[in-house]
Structure 1
Amino acid sequence: MSAADFLLSPAVQKIMQVLYAAPDQPFSADELARQTRQEPGEAGQTIEHLVKSGILARQKAAAEQPDTVKLDRSFVFYGELRSIALKSFAAAEPVRAMLRSKFKDSVVRAFVLGEDADNFIELLIVHGAVTPDETAMTAACKKLSKALHRHLQVHVISVARFNGLADHDTLAAKLASASAFEIIAPGDTKAQLPAERLGLLQSAKKKLAALSLAQHRRESR
C-alpha cells in the first residue's frame, strides 16, 4: 500500500485518525465503525485491507468476544505513516481549516510543534493586530479535539512575542525541532499585523524635524 493510497482514502483516514490517537489500544471492527461513523461493512473492508498491508495487527479474542486490531509498531513504515498523518488529515489539515474559517482576521501564523508520549498535539498560534477571542478559541479547539480524537495543547501569542523569542525560550526550542512544521504562513489569512511603534529615538527625531519646519516657516513670514 503506497503513501498515496493511504492518504487518498477517506475511509482509511477516519480509521487511522482513531488508531493514532490511541496507538496501543485494541479496537473491534464495530468500535471503529461507531467512532468513525461508517457502516460496519465499509469499516470491516477497510480494516481487512489495512491488516493485509501490515499496518494493523489482528488479535484473536476469547470465546464469544470479537477479534480486535491495533497499530503494528513493527510495520516498516510505521513512523513515516504516522508523520504523514500528523502533517495532513490527523492534525494539520483540520487545524488549518478551523483557523482559516473562524480566526482568519486574527491568526497570522500557526505551527504544529509535535506530539508527546501521551498523544497530545501541541500547537502554536500567532496573532496579529486582533487578538482571538479566548472563549471562542477554547470552544473551537475543544470541538476539533473531539473530532480528531486527540487532546490539543494550544499556545496563543502575539506576533511581537513571536518575533522576540530568544534561543533559550521553550517555544523557540520546540519550533527548531524536527517535529515542528508550519500550517499557516504569513499571507495565508486576512489578519493584519499591528502597526509598528516608533522607537524613542526615531520618535524624538520626528518631533524635532516637525519643530524645525514650524520654526523655519515662522521665520520666513
Structure 2
Amino acid sequence: MTSTNKKGALLFAGGLLLGGLVATNHWSSVENSISLQLDDVKAELSETKVALAEAQEALAQVNVQGEAATEHAESLAQQLEEKQAEITALKATLGEKSRAYAGKAGALEKTLEEKSVAIAQLKKRVTDTDVLYAERYRLTKAVSDLNEKILKGAHKLELSQKACSEFKKGNSWNKVSENDCDNFNALKAENNAMIEQFDHLSSDLDKVKRELSAFGNVPLPDHP
C-alpha cells in the first residue's frame, strides 16, 4: 500500500469514527429529549389522572347533592301542596265565618235598633214619670189644701147653722146670729162647690196614681 493510500484509509477510518461519534451524540441527545418529553407526558398524565379522580369525586358529590336537592324539591313540592290544601280549607272556613258574622252583624244591628227604640221609650217613660210625679205632687197638695178648707168651711157652716137656728127659735137676737142666717145659704153653696172641686181633684189624682202604678211604681194611699 502506498503512502497515499494509507493516508486515504486513515482519513476514511477517522471520518467513520468521527461520524459514529457525531451520530452517537445526536441519537443520545434525541433520546434524552424524547425521555424528557416522555417524563413530561407521564407527569401530565399523572396530573390528568388526579384531576380526573377529583372531577369524578366532585361529580359524585354533585350527584349526591343533586339527589338531595331533588328529594328536597319533592319535599317542598309536597309541602306546597299541603299548604295549598290548608289555604283552600282556610278560605272555605273564612267564607263560612264571614257569612256567619254577616248574619250575626245583621242580628246585632236589629237588636241595636230595638234597644235604641227601647231606650227612647224608656227616656220618654222617665220624662212622663217625672211629669206624673210633679202632677201628683200638685194634685196632692191641692186636694190636701182643699180638704182643709172644706173641713174649716164645714165647721164654720155648722156654727152658722146652729146660731141661725137659735136666732129663729128666738133664743138669740144678736146681729151676728142674724148675719149667720143671711150667709148660711152662701156658705153652704161655697162649701158644696169646694166639695165638688175636691171630688174632681181626687179623681184626677187617682188617675195619675194609676198611671204611675202602670210604670211599676207602688200605688200610693188614696188620701195624702
TM-score (norm 1): 0.19
Hey, which of these two has a bigger chunk of helix by percent?
2
Q: Higher strand proportion, which one?
A: 1
TM-score, normalization: structure 2? 0.19
